[in-house]
Amino acid sequence: MKTIIFLSYTDDEAEKVLELIRQSNLEQGLTSQFNFELSVCIAEVINNLVEHTPEQHKQQNPVFELHFTNYPDGVCVQIVNQSPEYEFVQPQQAPSETDLSGRGLFILNQWIDTLSYRHQDGKNYLLMFKQNL
């Protein structure tokens, strides 16, 4: 089942989409742990995207897309927005315990099985697949 959700850059939208995804995953019989891990990762991606999208682009293109697909072996999420290319780092090590930032992308790397980013035709495409073991 594929779902496309259109989101604005406002805070409440992210919460709504996470609830929709949680419900969809529960219907598919996915565990609470799987749901939690995927939801945290989607939240981190949205936070990252909001942070890296200039205000001018948010005003010109106030909506971005989240494509969500359930497969027998996992869940695929693609987030697409219109904005300049940005550096998508994939840290392999956790930041120091006392650092106040830098954990989001590390969490993504740990909990998502396949993660890719590309910039094409003025759009950012962030694709992630989480396997249901």
In one-letter notation, the amino acid at residue 94 is: A
What is the sign of the dihedral through the CA atoms of 15, 17, 20 and 24? negative
- Determine, following the binding rule CB under 8 A, whether residue 101 of this chain makes contact with another protein: yes
Interacting positions 59-98 with another protein (CB under 8 A): 94-95, 97-98
Of residues 5, 20, 76, 107, which one binds another protein by CB under 8 A?
107
Beta carbons within 8 Å of 65's beta carbon, 6+ residues apart: 4, 5, 6, 7, 78, 79, 80, 81
**Cα separations (Å) of 43 from 11, 17, 111?**
10, 10, 13
Compute the least distance from the CB of residue 106 to another protein, in Å: 7
- # residues near another protein by CB under 8 A: 26
- Regarding 132 and contact with another protein (CB under 8 A), the answer is no
**Interface residue list for another protein (CB under 8 A):** 11, 14-15, 18, 32-33, 36-37, 39-40, 43-44, 47, 94-95, 97-101, 103-104, 106-107, 110-111
